[in-house]
Structure formats: C-alpha cells, structure tokens
Amino acid sequence: MGFKKMSTKEDEFVNSARGETSAQNEEINTKRNKQFIVYFTDEELKNLKNTAKSIGMPTSTYIRFKLFS
C-alpha cells in the first residue's frame, strides 16, 4: 500500500494551493457607535436606496462611501 500517484493536473493544483493556511491579513473592524441623523424626502431616499442597491452596497455603506471619497 502506498500513496496514490497524482496526475499532473492534480499535482499542479496542490502545488498552487501551498501556503493557503498561512496567516491572513486581519481586517480591522472599527465599531461604529456614533449616530448622525439626516432627513430625506421620500424621493431622495428612494433614489439613494436604488443607487446603493444597483452597485451592491448597503445604504449606510454607500452614504459613507460618497461622504468620504
């Protein structure tokens, strides 16, 4: 009994995956605990939500993105 002989394709897959278990860059999560209240008209809020949804962002993330970039 011994190890199974791997095909070249399998061998390349294993070799390309080496290092996958190394330490990943840890993303720093900043706790957001401050509020700022903003009032929108129905139309403004509708446009804001639709725009955020169309680019795949939550509304609050989209607002932060537009505000700080």
Which residue segment(s) compose the domain that 47 sits in? 34-69
Residue 28 in any domain: the answer is no
User: Of all helices (H) and strands (E), which one includes residue 51?
Assistant: helix 42-54
**pLDDT tens sequence across 22-49:** 555 566 778 889 999 999 999 999 999 9
pLDDT for 19: 59
**pLDDT tens sequence across 7-22:** 776 667 666 666 555 5
Cβ-based neighbours of 57, under 8 Å, separated by 6 or more: 65
pLDDT for 28: 76
Q: Look at the block and give the residue holding tokens 């607002």.
A: 63
pLDDT for 26: 60
pLDDT for 46: 98
Residue 61 in any domain: the answer is yes
DSSP 8: H
Residue 53 in any domain: the answer is yes
Q: Does pTM top 0.75 for this prediction?
A: no
Residue 68 in any domain: the answer is yes
Q: Look at the block and give the residue holding tokens 């509020």.
A: 35
* E strand map for the chain: none
